[in-house]
Amino acid sequence: MDPRFGEPPSLRRSDWDTSRAQRLHQSQAGRAAQHLTEIAQAAEPGTRLGSKDELRARCGVSVGTFNEAVRLVQARGVVWIRPGPGGGLFAATQSPMTRLGNSVLAMETAGAPVAEAIRIRAALEPLLLEDALWHASPADIAALREYLAEMEPAVSAGDRATFAAAKWRLHHYLASLTPNAMLRSLCTNLFDLIEAEHSEEPANSDLAETYRTHCALVDAIDTRDRTRAMRLISVLAGERAARPD
């Protein structure tokens, strides 16, 4: 994941509208990806599911949204694509790990309360943090600080959408540091589920305080200060319990 991705903070209405449109596109792509997942799961591995045009019509979305959905299901190991005559999307053989990730993502479509995902996240993040304390390299610390650099101007601008996006990228990066593939997959999918509902910081949240806590957390990881890091992740979990982020 490239820590440089992300839009600069702004309070212009045009930028707010663009951010809103992007979130709508991401939500539509997620629903289309879930529909493709359901189609693939109902088929035998290796079965041709249809051409891109046929499946896009079934999903009822634009070309751009469908291409994003295809990218998502490919990354999750749900389908594989064969170009040319007779090509299209084919159901992939799903490993237990893939099925686990897809079952978490399906919670959103089934209407499972996001509060449940937040509670599970709070239980698993200390495990991610333990691995980050062991495995974070100087390059990883630099990447985490770049996310903090994206969050900082959003604090003064009061740009809650940009702040939340940078914060989520920071937590996704932390999840990527664990060598435990099951933990990484589960947490990443939980983050995706929660982020879809909370793509903007709540109006009553203190951006400056949340930013300072994340800065302190990265410092603790950098110095391998386990006690401080665990205390800070507990503080963040307490904030989420008070107002889900």
CATH code at position 180: 1.20.120.530
Residues 177-208 pLDDT 10s: 999 988 888 888 788 878 877 778 888 889 99
Print the domain residue range for 85: 13-93
90 three-state secondary structure = strand
CATH number of the domain enclosing 29: 1.10.10.10
Q: Give bridge partners of residue 88 from the DSSP assignment.
A: 82
Beta bridge partners of 90: 48, 80
Whether residues 40 and 158 share a domain: the answer is no
CA separation for the pair 120, 94 (Å, rounded): 24
Beta strands in 110-150 (DSSP E): none
Model pTM greater than 0.75?
no
Q: 112 with 128, same domain?
A: yes
Q: What is the pLDDT of residue 48?
A: 93
CB 142 within 8 A of CB 184: no
pLDDT tens-digit map of 135-164: 999 999 999 999 999 999 999 999 999 999
Asked if the structure places residue 34 within a domain, the reply is yes
3 occurs within a structural domain: no
